[in-house]
Structure 1
Amino acid sequence: MTGDGRVRWGILATGGIAAAFTADLVDLPDAEVVAVASRTQTSAKAFAERFGIPRAYGDWASLAEDAEVDVVYVATPHAAHRAAAGMCLEAGRHVLCEKAFTLNTGEAEELVGLARRHERFLMEAMWMYCNPLILRLKTLIEDGVIGEVRTVQADFGLAGPFPPAHRLRDPAQGGGALLDLGVYPVSFAQLLLGEPSDVAAKAVLSDEGVDLQTGALLSWESGALASVHCSITGGTATSASVTGSAGRIDIPSGFFHPDHFVLHRDGREPEKVMADPAHGPRTSLKHEAVEVMRALRAGESESPLVPLDGTLAVMRTLDAIRDRIGVRYPGEVRRPA
């Protein structure tokens, strides 16, 4: 960090999510974006010019070895997360890594092991977990406002159509609906209920062998159930609902970055709970960046909002779903979930 406490960021990859994150990052007064890396110098230079970043690298290793970078945001497709984040951790950088965190649990465990061995901070970029309104919802549920949670429902689907060459259809890039979109409904359910005790799933697969749409039923020993759905063949409502023994909370379209939710309590009128306008636009990614910088200043090796054990638990569930639907990626070797 700089002498005045600013955190120096490096951006690894130059795609759409990297641009969205960097645009929010440059607006934070205690953040400084000092470097960007891509597989090509041309892409890195164009990204650097767009956001006023002083250093542009045409390879990942140069960014990882840049001692003036405190933390690297890894925004590659998830098939490259293990390699990119691992390189940065081994070089001594802290890491914020996009979701899905890795292709599978084995890769995730390797990254967590590297972070702990090198005493570096590591966090999955699950921005939903850092969203103030989602945190308020979680607190209300933990306080028993709707009683004991019985069911969770959540969906995330994009209309497409996506051609076979698109990354969402490419097995080599970890394509399919589950890792790109289904990670949100699964993570939402596990935020409230923890890791499920059983997983059932069905899917429609593409000719390339990735899931076009997947539905899963997660169950817990408490008797709670979660129904989650993801798709790259139809635009869903992207809504969520949590039903308890004494009420229900409904989250409208865009459940993972809501501007409000509706609290239904038995015997009372529905209550609309709004996001605080001071927290910025609902699409803002700044909350995860703020949490990373808070943790780094506090000397924490992981975030209590996005704990590594929680990330590993979500990866185990995603592995279990893929086992049920029969999706494997090229060269992937892992134990059955």
Structure 2
Amino acid sequence: MKFAIIGASFAKAAYLPALRHVPGAEVVALASNRLASARAAADEFGIADAYADWREMLARHRPDAVLIATPTNTHAEMTLAALDHGAHVLCEKPTAMDAGEAEAMLDKAEALGRLHMIDHELRFNPNRMRIAEMIASGDLGEIRHVNISNIGASWADPASRPIGDWWSLIDQGGGRLGANGSHQVDMLRWWLGPVVSVIGEAITMVPDRIDKRTGQRWTATADDVSYLTLRMQSGARAQVFMSGVAAHNIGNVTQVFGSKGTVLLSNEDERLYFAKAGQEFSDITVEDPNSSLPGLNKGVWNSSVVSALREFAVAISQGRSLKQGANFFDGLANQLVLDAVRESTATRAWVDLPTERCKR
């Protein structure tokens, strides 16, 4: 199966090491905005062709699948072009700049009969899969509320981000809401079902930035703090708080509270704890067999990408839809939530979701 990749940075960190563990996968070409970056990644992983222009790459090759890991404002254009060139598409999160773009991606993929996937790789993490199973089986009883916090210091120093950093620019789709919030929303939808209403805020706490290399001052426009409350169709409430500008790294903590029990998960040590009502917590951690694969970078994200790409490749080879993972339907539903948070930021009010757009 022939793969082409757009975006060298994440490809080098995650896709290319993972694809070495996907039977039959061959990466035939890689494109990046900077040819030097594309060539360096291609040389390291034995890829023959590298391009500075992704359009030229698609014109010269006929890959079975295209993996897209680029700034958010490029996702829709690249996805639509790859689909038109006959490829199945895995696109990074957040899906797109807004729900209109996400819907166009979904409509074209469905019309052309292409497999479509959003890289919410945590759906393949064994501990989060265990939580999904416990919720579905009723081990936790009725889920009443979920609390997720993701607190870090990586953006706290005004000189921590270089000038032009797309993650810090709203017009390129940057910000914590898209970078991390999209993962949290996908996980909550996976575990609990549809979101019906949202209130929240996506704000820039440290807009005044300085480029560490040049000393040039510049302004960040994307959110470095985001928080949201979700009202789920099930009646459960979920709260998510994310910050990149804290003085300390606290990490990602997930707490699920049901009528019969509670589960706790921290990515600091990736240990999963469960307690039935009235009892003490016990460790029920599920180890990830992918974590010991050679050549992978450390962390649950990188090991989970292996399973995501395996499912993507097998589904293509078998001519079936995904059995596991997030597709463009999920991407659209996720984007509606992110859009609602931005609307709520402006209106300071609850926003009801048009869930009928995802029921197709």
Taking structure 2 as the reference length, the TM-score comes to 0.82
Please name the residue that 1:62 is paired with: 56
Shift of 1:173: 1.5
Answering whether residue 6 of structure 2 is matched by residue 12 of structure 1, we say yes
Choose 104-113 or 299-308, whichever is displaced more.
Answer: 299-308
Please name the residue that 1:115 is paired with: 109
Shift of 1:28: 3.1
* In structure 2, C-alpha distance between the alignment counterparts of 1:236 and 1:321, rounded to whole Å: 24
* In structure 2, C-alpha distance between the alignment counterparts of 1:169 and 1:88, rounded to whole Å: 27
Please name the residue that 1:240 is paired with: 254
Q: What amino acid maps onto 1:219 in structure 2?
A: R
* In structure 2, C-alpha distance between the alignment counterparts of 1:96 and 1:202, rounded to whole Å: 29
Please name the residue that 2:296 is paired with: none
Answering whether residue 21 of structure 2 is matched by residue 27 of structure 1, we say yes
* In structure 1, C-alpha distance between the alignment counterparts of 2:196 and 2:165, rounded to whole Å: 34
Shift of 1:184: 2.0
SS in 2 for 1:280: helix
Say if 2:201 and 2:342, in contact at 8 Å, map to a contact too: no
Q: What amino acid maps onto 2:329 in structure 1?
A: D
Say if 1:123 and 1:303, in contact at 8 Å, map to a contact too: no
Q: What amino acid maps onto 1:106 in structure 2?
A: G
Shift of 1:310: 2.1
Q: What pairs with 1:113-192 in structure 2 (closer than 5 Å)? A: 113-159=107-153, 160=155, 161=157, 162-163=160-161, 165-192=164-191
Please name the residue that 2:82 is paired with: 88
Taking only the aligned residue pairs, the percentage that are identical comes to 28
1:59-108 Cα shifts (integer Å, max 9, x gaps): 11133235442111101011111111111111111111000111111111
Please name the residue that 1:216 is paired with: 228
Closer, same or farther in 2 for the Cα pair 1:66/1:148, shift >3 Å? Answer: farther
Say if 2:146 and 2:256, in contact at 8 Å, map to a contact too: yes
Q: Can you give the 5+ residue segments of structure 2 that lack an aligned partner in the other structure?
A: 208-218, 293-299, 348-352, 355-360
Say if 1:26 and 1:33, in contact at 8 Å, map to a contact too: no
Please name the residue that 1:331 is paired with: none
1:101-152 Cα shifts (integer Å, max 9, x gaps): 1111111111111111221111001101122332222011100001011111
Please name the residue that 1:230 is paired with: 242
Q: Can you give the 5+ residue segments of structure 1 that lack an aligned partner in the other structure?
A: 1-6, 328-335
* In structure 1, C-alpha distance between the alignment counterparts of 2:14 and 2:342, rounded to whole Å: 29
Choose 76-85 or 228-237, whichever is displaced more.
Answer: 228-237
SS in 1 for 2:224: strand
Choose 232-241 or 17-26, whichever is displaced more.
Answer: 17-26
Answering whether residue 286 of structure 2 is matched by residue 275 of structure 1, we say yes
* In structure 1, C-alpha distance between the alignment counterparts of 2:313 and 2:341, rounded to whole Å: 33
Closer, same or farther in 2 for the Cα pair 1:274/1:30, shift >3 Å? Answer: farther
Q: What amino acid maps onto 1:265 in structure 2?
A: K
Q: What amino acid maps onto 1:193 in structure 2?
A: L
1:232-284 Cα shifts (integer Å, max 9, x gaps): 21234311011001001101126xxx743111112444231222352325341
Aligned partner of 2:310 among 287, 290, 305: 290
Say if 1:167 and 1:175, in contact at 8 Å, map to a contact too: yes
Choose 31-40 or 68-77, whichever is displaced more.
Answer: 31-40
Q: What amino acid maps onto 1:108 in structure 2?
A: A
* In structure 2, C-alpha distance between the alignment counterparts of 1:87 and 1:18, rounded to whole Å: 23
Closer, same or farther in 2 for the Cα pair 1:293/1:176, shift >3 Å? Answer: same
Aligned residue-pair number: 320
* In structure 2, C-alpha distance between the alignment counterparts of 1:107 and 1:277, rounded to whole Å: 35
Please name the residue that 1:265 is paired with: 276
* In structure 1, C-alpha distance between the alignment counterparts of 2:97 and 2:339, rounded to whole Å: 9
Say if 2:117 and 2:325, in contact at 8 Å, map to a contact too: no
Q: What is the aligned-residue RMSD (CA, Å)?
A: 2.2
Taking structure 1 as the reference length, the TM-score comes to 0.87
* In structure 1, C-alpha distance between the alignment counterparts of 2:233 and 2:52, rounded to whole Å: 50
* In structure 2, C-alpha distance between the alignment counterparts of 1:280 and 1:10, rounded to whole Å: 25
